[in-house]
Structure 1
Amino acid sequence: MTDKVLLTGISGWIAKHIAIELLNSGYEVLGTVRSQNSLEKTKKTISEYVSTDKLSFVELDLLKDEGWNEAAKDCKYIIHTASPYPMKSSRNREALVPAAKGGTLRVLNAGIEANVEKIVLTSSIAAMFKRPNRTNPYNVGENDWSDTEWSGSNDYIISKTKAEKVAWELMESKGLKDKLTVINPGGVNGDALDDKENTSTKYVQLFLKGKYPMAPNFGILISDVKDVAKAHVLSLKNSKVNGRRLLIGSEVKKMLEISKIMQDAFPKYAKKLPKKEMPNFMLKLISYLDSSAKLMVPELGILMQTDTSYSEDLLGMKFKPAKDSIVDAGNSVIRLGLV
């Protein structure tokens, strides 16, 4: 009998890659969608890369209890990726929590009820690195948590942190911590499979369109979307990663370094890409008008450091160089006609 995986939010960019990895690995996949509108397009995209004979869909809402237990009951594993990730920040710091935290509880409780063997949760480095009084440079590791009370944490940071924390609390309270593995990517780059807009590739698109005359002065861990997908799938049957938080990515890159990689790879767009670093005061001024810039302000001038080799060792894989992920992202944005 084929092992069946409930994959939440299958229409998402990372989740589509996970679906392809699962199907290529012989799993049966039941993907959840919020509405029928995204079902056909998602299936079409996935079918261009792998047979969809073992792929089915169910319409479920993270904000509603109905249907989750039924969806999970015949599944051996759950991969929970569904969570809101908007481009713009909301003034309501709790705006995304109901879907992120409440949705996580619904999915995990359904998995517990169905006695699934393993749950893999998609979190983010966002749940780890946002906190006050950091050194410069500062280190981010498996035991670090973002401070949801800090003014430097926005609605997305708060939602990811609270959702991951409640997942650990629930599984530990049931004595099931070893049934949970959490994947924490950084800034996800790589191949966009279709033209559905997502926040990660949107930044690449804006860079190539010349929307950033100068690069903000901060850096982020670069994670390749295929590495992130593979990490989820490898975690299903790997007891070494039970109860662990896995940082995924190879290198931290500053925004100006990302721009330089793009200039070399895409000379046609070089004139539009930033050549200089933006003064910190300028980004602070912009942040009053552009909510997407607010997330960057607390990071200005300090450098993130992290060691992801423990994740590579536990998973038995090697993460792609940041340069390759950035070039793949640019190539796909250009191929899809998004610039």
Structure 2
Amino acid sequence: MADRVLLTGISGFLGGHVALKLLEAGYIVRGSVRRMEKSDKVRATLAAAGADVSRLEFVALDLLSDEGWAEAMQDVRYLQHTASPFVTTMPDDKMELIRPAVDGTRRALHAAYTSGVGRVVLTSSMAAIMYGHAPDRSAPFTAADWTDLTGRDVTAYVESKTRAEREAWSIADSFGRRADLAVINPSAIFGPLLDDDPGTSVGLLKRLLDGSVPVAPRIYLSMIDVRDVAELHLKAMTTPDAGGQRFASAGPTDSMHEIANTLRKAFPAFAKKLPRFEAPNWLVRFVALFDKDIRSNLGELGIVKRIDPTAAESLLGHRFITNPQMLKASVDSLIAQGVITPPDAS
């Protein structure tokens, strides 16, 4: 009998790819959705991606409700907890992000350890590692680093991911199960979409390609392909030595201008839409007075953060997919899903 995995957040970008990896590896996947009416779309999406959905189950779970968690853990050997809110525009009330992230993690891990689940894999973020540090830091960030929540660049999202991961380790320790928790800390996740929802990260590429960003702000992104992140979740679940560890997961850091140039080379039809120049910081700060999305990310201006992915690549068993490859795969899927249309095809 195949082992059963409870996968929270299966309808998300990463959750869908984790489901594909698990089904491909022969597991029974019990995916959680907030409302059961979402399950038909998720099943159809995974089937279209080539998954054997005969081993796919669904349960309704809410990060803010105790209902159903104990039942969802029945006959489950592993928990993959990927569900957590992700935005680029910060809410007026930071608890709108922090409460579901922290409370959801508490509910998921408490239910898992109470029911005797063997290994928990938590999706955290580089947000829990590389904020609140000196802006001129040149040393790469590793799993040994933690975000300092008193730092000036800490947003509600950064705080939500940091507090949620801290909560996970605390709960694991309280059950004496620290060695049975593995945490994946990815940077910005790109790669091929499974449906027509571009989400937050790939949605940024859509904005670049449709001309919504006339000049590139001096913002730098460390990136990783969703397929590598999903495989890391599988490897962290099944590799004995991965327990008790965090895995800082990111490839090289590129500026928004470099990303635009990579897209211009791969997709010349969009060349006129993509930004050709970098905007000076003073201009970005001025525009931020009228644009909440930009205002939420002013702390990123001019700050280059680099990550040492050695441990994650060792767990994966190969080097990460390169930035140009993942960006091309992202845009190819945007086109294939009908989210964007090349200008010459209009």
Mind listing any 5+ residue stretches in structure 1 that lack a counterpart? none
Report the Cα offset of residue 114 of structure 1: 1.1
Give the counterpart letter for 1:29 in structure 2: V
Report the Cα offset of residue 148 of structure 1: 2.6
Equivalent residue number for residue 22 of structure 2: 22
Whole-angstrom CA distance in 2 between matches of 1:129 and 1:293: 20
Report the Cα offset of residue 232 of structure 1: 0.3
Whole-angstrom CA distance in 2 between matches of 1:145 and 1:290: 30
Whole-angstrom CA distance in 2 between matches of 1:111 and 1:136: 38
CA deviations on 1:72-113 (whole Å, 9 max, x unpaired) are 121000000011112421122222111100000000001001
Pick closer, same or farther for the CA change 1:171–1:95 going to 2, 3 Å.
same
Equivalent residue number for residue 182 of structure 1: 183
Whole-angstrom CA distance in 2 between matches of 1:104 and 1:37: 23
Report the Cα offset of residue 219 of structure 1: 1.3
Report the Cα offset of residue 38 of structure 1: 1.8
Report the Cα offset of residue 66 of structure 1: 1.1
**222-231 vs 123-132, which deviates more?**
123-132
Pick closer, same or farther for the CA change 1:136–1:143 going to 2, 3 Å.
closer
Equivalent residue number for residue 11 of structure 1: 11
Question: Do the aligned residues in 1 keep the contact of 2:90 with 2:155 (CA within 8 Å)?
Answer: yes
Question: Do the aligned residues in 2 keep the contact of 1:129 with 1:146 (CA within 8 Å)?
Answer: yes
Whole-angstrom CA distance in 2 between matches of 1:74 and 1:290: 48
Pick closer, same or farther for the CA change 1:299–1:87 going to 2, 3 Å.
closer
- Residues 1-339 of structure 1 aligned to structure 2 (within 5 Å): 1-48=1-48, 49-137=50-138, 139-339=140-340
Question: Do the aligned residues in 2 keep the contact of 1:29 with 1:54 (CA within 8 Å)?
Answer: yes
Question: Do the aligned residues in 1 keep the contact of 2:222 with 2:254 (CA within 8 Å)?
Answer: yes
CA deviations on 1:198-247 (whole Å, 9 max, x unpaired) are 11111011111111111111212110000000100111110121111112
Report the Cα offset of residue 137 of structure 1: 3.5
Report the Cα offset of residue 272 of structure 1: 0.7
Whole-angstrom CA distance in 1 between matches of 2:170 and 2:295: 30
Q: Secondary structure at the match of 2:272?
A: helix
Q: Secondary structure at the match of 2:211?
A: coil
Whole-angstrom CA distance in 1 between matches of 2:278 and 2:138: 18
Report the Cα offset of residue 251 of structure 1: 1.4
Q: Secondary structure at the match of 2:95?
A: coil
Question: Do the aligned residues in 2 keep the contact of 1:238 with 1:315 (CA within 8 Å)?
Answer: no
Whole-angstrom CA distance in 2 between matches of 1:207 and 1:152: 24
Whole-angstrom CA distance in 1 between matches of 2:296 and 2:141: 17
Report the Cα offset of residue 132 of structure 1: 4.4
CA deviations on 1:286-333 (whole Å, 9 max, x unpaired) are 223222223432222221111102211133232111110011111111
Whole-angstrom CA distance in 1 between matches of 2:36 and 2:279: 43
Whole-angstrom CA distance in 2 between matches of 1:150 and 1:289: 25
Give the counterpart letter for 1:42 in structure 2: V
**13-22 vs 90-99, which deviates more?**
90-99
Equivalent residue number for residue 344 of structure 2: none
Cα-Cα RMSD: 1.4
Equivalent residue number for residue 343 of structure 2: none
Question: Do the aligned residues in 2 keep the contact of 1:208 with 1:272 (CA within 8 Å)?
Answer: yes
Question: Do the aligned residues in 2 keep the contact of 1:138 with 1:302 (CA within 8 Å)?
Answer: no
Question: Do the aligned residues in 2 keep the contact of 1:137 with 1:302 (CA within 8 Å)?
Answer: no
Question: Do the aligned residues in 1 keep the contact of 2:250 with 2:307 (CA within 8 Å)?
Answer: no
Give the counterpart letter for 1:206 in structure 2: R
Whole-angstrom CA distance in 1 between matches of 2:296 and 2:239: 35
State the 4+ residue runs in structure 1 displaced beyond 6 angstroms.
none
Give the counterpart letter for 1:31 in structure 2: G
Question: Do the aligned residues in 1 keep the contact of 2:88 with 2:297 (CA within 8 Å)?
Answer: no
Report the Cα offset of residue 10 of structure 1: 0.6
**86-95 vs 316-325, which deviates more?**
86-95
Q: Secondary structure at the match of 2:157?
A: helix
Whole-angstrom CA distance in 2 between matches of 1:309 and 1:89: 32
TM-score, reference length from structure 2 = 0.94
Question: Do the aligned residues in 1 keep the contact of 2:87 with 2:200 (CA within 8 Å)?
Answer: yes
CA deviations on 1:11-41 (whole Å, 9 max, x unpaired) are 0010000001000000000000001232111
Mind listing any 5+ residue stretches in structure 2 that lack a counterpart? 341-346
Question: Do the aligned residues in 2 keep the contact of 1:123 with 1:183 (CA within 8 Å)?
Answer: yes
> In percent, how many aligned pairs have the same letter?
36
Whole-angstrom CA distance in 2 between matches of 1:123 and 1:294: 24
Q: Give the length in aligned residue pairs.
A: 339
Whole-angstrom CA distance in 2 between matches of 1:4 and 1:291: 43
